[in-house]
Chains A and B, each alone.
Chain A
Amino acid sequence: MHVLEVQSLQKSYRLSGKVVEAVRDVSFNISAQEVLAFLGPNGAGKTTTIKMIAGLIVPDRGSVAIAGRNPHRQPNALRSLGAVLEGNRNIYWRLTPEENLEYFGVLRGLSGRVARQRAKVLLDRFDLSHKRKTTVQTLSRGMQQKLAIAVALIHEPQLLLLDEPTLGLDVEATQTVKQLVREIAHEGRAILLTTHQLDIAEELSDRVAIINKGKIVAQENTVDLIRQFSGTVYEIELEDGLSRDFLETLGRDRFQKLKSLGALIEKNCIYVRETELLYQALDILKPLAIARIEKDQANLTDIFLKFIREDYYA
């Protein structure tokens, strides 16, 4: 069974008369031990999705099930969920790490005794024992974020939500958080993490869902997604001095044909995925002037950007 099941989530906001469709028909699942990276530019709808899963925003439509329970109707569903939210402290800076862990432990339904025991174990594990009686505000940013993750784990939830967990961290702290995410997934939890730092998604995730303007535009196994593109993507750059509008130069007919090959078209560049398709594309483009043809060494960053732009030009 999936730890998290998200079905057709939909959310629009009304802000000063205008309607923003923040999340449109988003569906995905995550199993135990799996890390899903939610990737998208600012304003894509990542945080809104995460908050709908955490029961903090009521969706217009669609459903969320955490270990089979609906967080909006069954408060007990929240026993299976821990979350570190974006741009929030998430923990009390005026308390010590120990006090934070114990307080939030009880808030998540543990007894005081169990919370104290788990706090000790987590402090050891997260290498914070020596700071356990120091107030959080005097800790380094990295330690604060580590503690926020520890606090999210105090009740041993099956699902962990991390919204931009490495935002604002230095290189070393980022490294630490990455290591932690791997460990936490390894011990059997499902993790949903959002990030715009693509290298992090590439390193940490088993699966990637790319979201743009509220819609999931690609959802694939991370390794497959990279393999699908790397090495076998060709970039054809056309000379576009002829017309101000490249699409005009290309013509509607050619545009449709290229699309049916599965090509991505962006500015004056066309991307195709296989060698065979390259020649078909060249046939279609004949006799337009070509400036450059290149085999693309894609990494996730490029793939990500292409999908985003693709959607933009569509």
Chain B
Amino acid sequence: MLELLIAQLKWSSIQYRRYASEAIGGVIALTATFYGLFLSASYIGGGSVRFGDRLDSVIVGYVLWSLVIFIMGGIPGTLQREAQVGTLEQLFISPFNATQILLFRAIGDLIIQTFLISIVLIIIMVTTGRWLSFSPALILPFITVVLGAYGIAFAAGGLALIFKSIQQLLGIFNFALLFLLTIPTETWSGTQQVLGWILPMTTGAGLLRDLMARSQPLALPLLGLALLNGLVYFALGVSLFRWAERAAKRRGKLAGY
């Protein structure tokens, strides 16, 4: 298991290093965006996912938004790319199941993406002299959101296995994501509140808002709920993926056709 994770991490880092020229566009866009946010602390791209008006809240909102988009597109993207270059089936000829391999690869990619973002942020902080400070507690609600995002990524991966081309669907997902991350369910009550708990990733995002914009302490019961929400969506996504994998194998179209 650990060996597989290490191998995946190495795989991802080689891809990034060797094809830096392809990654460079993304890094430049990232830098420009952060720079803009630093200068104006206002709306840019996903800047509407804001956890308050202070610079650090805006940055956290943007980082969360961009990472979740990155995660959601990751697994279907991997499946489509591998099918295109003709390596996909080799991933399924393994004593490890495909879910595990895809998850580890996604984690490898996420670690590298996070690393890139951190580097860019640090460089900007050094050059502008404006320093952000985050509470380490942020990481907990962040994780619950990321879990839900992986669930959705697996679901999208399952659809990619069966329908092959799902670019448009991913566009809709990204649109829905804006809604899920910004809708202020933490202010809802009654049945609405229950609905808020059921929506994917929303509770975790609400917790982040509480922490960043309202400077409230971390509400543990709500964190538990957010974690449960993340776990349930993760499990649902993985189940859907497994089902799709089986269906694709039954129809003989794991790698196209």
Interface residues of A (CB under 8 A from B): 11, 13-14, 22, 48, 51, 54-58, 75-76, 78-79, 81-83, 85, 87-95, 99, 102-104, 106-112, 115, 135
Do residues B95 and A78 form an inter-chain contact, with CB atoms below 8 A? yes
Interface residues of B (CB under 8 A from A): 3-4, 6-7, 10-11, 14-15, 18-19, 85-87, 89-97, 101, 246, 249-252, 254-255
Do residues B94 and A103 form an inter-chain contact, with CB atoms below 8 A? no
A-B contact pairs, 16 of them (CB 8 A): A51-B252, A55-B93, A56-B92, A56-B254, A75-B96, A78-B94, A79-B95, A89-B85, A89-B86, A89-B87, A92-B87, A103-B10, A104-B90, A107-B91, A108-B93, A135-B18
Contacting residue for B246 out of A13, A58, A75, CB 8 A: A58
Known: A88-B86, A94-B15. A58 touches B93 (CB 8 A): no
Cα distance, A123 to B87, chains bound together (Å):
20
Known: A56-B254, A58-B246, A103-B7. A109 touches B15 (CB 8 A): no
Listed from nearest, the 5 A-B pairs whose CB atoms lie closest are A88-B86, A106-B7, A89-B86, A109-B95, A58-B249
Q: Which residues of B contact A90 (CB under 8 A)?
A: 86-87, 90
Do residues A56 and B93 form an inter-chain contact, with CB atoms below 8 A? yes
Q: Which residues of B contact A14 (CB under 8 A)?
A: 251
Known: A57-B249, A102-B7, A107-B4. A95 touches B14 (CB 8 A): yes
Q: Which residues of B contact A115 (CB under 8 A)?
A: 7
B250 → chain A closest CB, angstroms: 5
Cα distance, A48 to B252, chains bound together (Å):
8
Q: Which residues of A contact B89 (CB under 8 A)?
A: 51, 54, 56, 85, 88
- The closest CB in chain B to the CB of A102 belongs to B7
Q: Which residues of B contact A82 (CB under 8 A)?
A: 93
Cα distance, A93 to B3, chains bound together (Å):
23
B16 → chain A closest CB, angstroms: 11
Q: Which residues of B contact A103 (CB under 8 A)?
A: 7, 10-11
- The closest CB in chain B to the CB of A96 belongs to B14
Contacting residue for A109 out of B18, B19, B96, B255, CB 8 A: B96
Known: A14-B251, A83-B90, A106-B6. 19 other contacts (CB 8 A): A57-B250, A57-B252, A75-B94, A75-B96, A76-B95, A78-B94, A81-B93, A85-B90, A88-B87, A88-B90, A90-B86, A106-B3, A107-B4, A107-B90, A107-B94, A108-B94, A110-B3, A112-B3, A115-B7
Q: Which residues of A contact B19 (CB under 8 A)?
A: 94
Do residues B252 and A11 form an inter-chain contact, with CB atoms below 8 A? yes
Q: Which residues of A contact B87 (CB under 8 A)?
A: 88-92
Cα distance, A85 to B7, chains bound together (Å):
23
Cα distance, A95 to B11, chains bound together (Å):
9
Q: Which residues of B contact A13 (CB under 8 A)?
A: 251-252
- The closest CB in chain B to the CB of A71 belongs to B93
Known: A88-B86, A95-B14, A112-B7. A78 touches B249 (CB 8 A): no
Do residues B94 and A56 form an inter-chain contact, with CB atoms below 8 A? no
Do residues A94 and B18 form an inter-chain contact, with CB atoms below 8 A? yes
Known: A88-B255, A93-B85. A78 touches B3 (CB 8 A): no
A79 → chain B closest CB, angstroms: 5
Q: Which residues of A contact B252 (CB under 8 A)?
A: 11, 13, 22, 48, 51, 57
Max chain A C-beta neighbours (<10 A), residue from B6, B89, B101: B89
Q: Which residues of A contact B85 (CB under 8 A)?
A: 89, 92-93
B5 → chain A closest CB, angstroms: 10
- The closest CB in chain A to the CB of B7 belongs to A106
Known: A57-B252, A95-B14, A107-B7. A83 touches B93 (CB 8 A): yes
Cα distance, A94 to B81, chains bound together (Å):
13
- The closest CB in chain A to the CB of B249 belongs to A58
